[in-house]
Amino acid sequence: MKVVLISGTDHKGSTYHIARMLAEKVTSPEDIAEVFLPRDFGEFCLGCTTCFVKGEDKCPHYERLRPITEKIDAADVVILASPVYCYHVTGQMKALLDHYGYRWMAHRPDERMYRKQAVVVATAAGAGVKSTLKDMADSTFFWGIPQTYRLGRGIAATDWDSVKPKIKDGLNAKADKIAKTIRKREGKVPVPLKTRAFFRIMAMIQKNGWNPADKDYWIQKGWTSGKKPWKQG
């Protein structure tokens, strides 16, 4: 199973440690690709909306983003990991996610997404884990990934070495549970009602969509005439 681990910081702190631990429970090290932000991508969205209207390949950052996009597309499991900064993801994680707005279900989701699984990972010194996990889970859901698991907590520390063994054990146990579920669902990821319902609504809207780039995409995929991206063939 291929895993991509996208870290919302350049440094290997508590959040990275937890995300890496999980990745290694899911697959072997040679199947784990890593991305560090902003080292591997540090651009802010310019707000030109070119990706939505003219195509993602016309984004001024398309070439710089491409290696990350290819890693995401090739992965069976996408791990997004960010420490809590002021109750939310780091600026660099948000800047990356903004560049994939065109891939949201309301626009042009990639069909490969519907067979992947995702994990969002966050740590805080104290509070803000829930809202930070949601920041990332919103993207994985709207990209079309049917299953997103959440792993994170306040760790009462600002570095991994100072985290109490009891907290580390708890995170380890939770990571074990998530990894087991991911392995069990490999190749047959359940698509929940929420994803199916949202997709169906989008298919109806796209029939008469306002944006030709999105509308043509949906028609060409056959999604406006009943085809579903999570069904093979």
Binding site for ligand FMN (CB under 6 A): 9, 13-16, 83-87, 123-128, 154-155, 158-159
Name, in order, each residue with C-beta under 8 angstroms of 196's C-beta and a sequence gap of 6 or more: none
CB 94 within 8 A of CB 135: yes
CB closer to ligand FMN out of 11 and 180:
11
Q: From CA 20, how far away is CA 26, in angstroms rounded?
A: 10
In angstroms, what is the minimal distance from the CB of 160 to ligand FMN?
6
In angstroms, what is the minimal distance from the CB of 45 to ligand FMN?
21
CB closer to ligand FMN out of 16 and 223:
16
Longest distance between any two alpha carbons in the chain, whole Å? 56
Q: In this structure, which amino acid lies at residue 231?
A: K
In angstroms, what is the minimal distance from the CB of 12 to ligand FMN?
8
**CA nearest neighbour of 117 among 91, 95, 148:** 148
In angstroms, what is the minimal distance from the CB of 150 to ligand FMN?
16
SS3 state of residue 130: helix
In angstroms, what is the minimal distance from the CB of 215 to ligand FMN?
41
CB closer to ligand FMN out of 82 and 206:
82
Q: From CA 42, how far away is CA 187, in angstroms rounded?
A: 33
SS3 state of residue 60: coil
Q: Which residue is nearest to ligand FMN (CB)?
A: 13
CB closer to ligand FMN out of 85 and 230:
85
CB closer to ligand FMN out of 106 and 120:
120
